[in-house]
């Protein structure tokens, strides 16, 4: 089987770093990483060997990257959530302008497919003002993806609530693990916790991406959305309680201390039928996924 050359954006981030590790482990891909010169490499430092080519997008002309490499596929995971007062223009530059530039170059240089990372925030029937700039930028890019799919095959992976090892400290699951299981703070204030989320462990998510990569060139479509979750949703209250139980923490979970947002998403779960048609199925329950993370923090006897 011939090796495929893949351009990966967002490799220094949570999902992207796990994807990079998996691509290397599979040994079917030659990976080119596109990052910024000031990106923190702590997640992938051990992977930056001769098998991975790295370009700094703020120092290297993007067209030169495509001239030096013929890519079979682009996997786009880079994103800007717009936290901590990030200007809207910066969010648009990261989530809209930058990937459109890549799309234009991919078409110009004959790249076969573009695999995009989307969010459950952007389902058509949902409206969510939390991280609104992020959500609007991603929705806008999705409109452009459909336009560009006339010239390049597009697989849009719509992620449910992903969690796993080495996630950012500002992400919900990681912050709960830190507060409840690691630091074991006295009290954590929460909403009532009746919102239901489809929590997908990163190991399962990565396997889904790999399955799409393996099959995308063999399927006849121009644009297709793959919803990525477990297909089941559970209440946040149950999920957070599981963290407490598994870590045997005495932290008081103060449910109801924080009001729901006015347009809170009360239930979201992925329709994973398209991924199941490719032969992918989730393997990790919330308990199993959380146990994997807690073991990394030295919490044993799970």
Q: How far is CA 247 from CA 136, 236, 294, in A?
A: 37, 17, 8
Query: Active site residue: 55, 120, 134, 209, which one?
Result: 134
Dig out the tokens for 148 from the structure: 């560009």
Q: Is 134 a catalytic residue?
A: yes
CB-CB contact of 12 with 40 (8 Å): yes
Residue whose C-alpha is closest to residue 158's, from 97, 116, 127, 113: 116
Residues that are catalytic? 134
């Amino acid at each position: 089987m011939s090796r495929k050359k893949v351009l990966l954006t967002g490799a220094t981030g949570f999902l992207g770093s796990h994807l990079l590790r998996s691509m290397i482990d599979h040994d079917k891909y030659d990976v080119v990483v596109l990052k910024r010169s000031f990106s923190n490499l702590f997640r992938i430092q051990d992977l930056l060997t001769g098998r991975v080519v790295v370009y700094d997008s703020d120092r290297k002309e993007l067209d030169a990257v495509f001239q030096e490499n013929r890519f079979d596929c682009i996997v786009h995971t880079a994103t800007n959530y717009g936290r901590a007062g990030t200007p809207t223009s910066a969010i648009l530059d990261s989530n809209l302008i930058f990937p459109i530039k890549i799309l234009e170059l991919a078409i110009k240089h004959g790249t076969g497919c573009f695999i995009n990372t989307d969010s459950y925030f952007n389902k058509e029937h949902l409206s969510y003002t939390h991280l609104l700039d992020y959500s609007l930028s991603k929705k806008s890019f999705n409109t452009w993806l459909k336009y560009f799919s006339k010239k390049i095959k597009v697989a849009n992976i719509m992620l449910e609530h992903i969690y796993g090892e080495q996630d950012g400290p500002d992400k919900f699951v990681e912050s709960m693990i830190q507060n409840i299981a690691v630091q074991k703070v006295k009290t954590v204030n929460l909403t009532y916790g009746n919102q239901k989320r489809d929590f997908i462990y990163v190991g399962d998510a990565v396997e889904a991406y790999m399955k799409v990569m393996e099959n995308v060139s063999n399927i006849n479509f121009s644009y297709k959305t793959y919803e990525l979750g477990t297909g089941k949703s559970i209440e946040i209250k149950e999920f957070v309680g599981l963290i407490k139980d598994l870590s045997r923490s005495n932290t008081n979970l103060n449910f109801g201390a924080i009001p729901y947002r006015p347009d809170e998403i009360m239930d979201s779960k992925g329709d994973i039928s398209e991924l199941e048609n490719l032969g992918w199925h989730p393997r990790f329950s919330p308990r199993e996924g959380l146990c994997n993370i807690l073991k990394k923090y030295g919490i044993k006897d799970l």
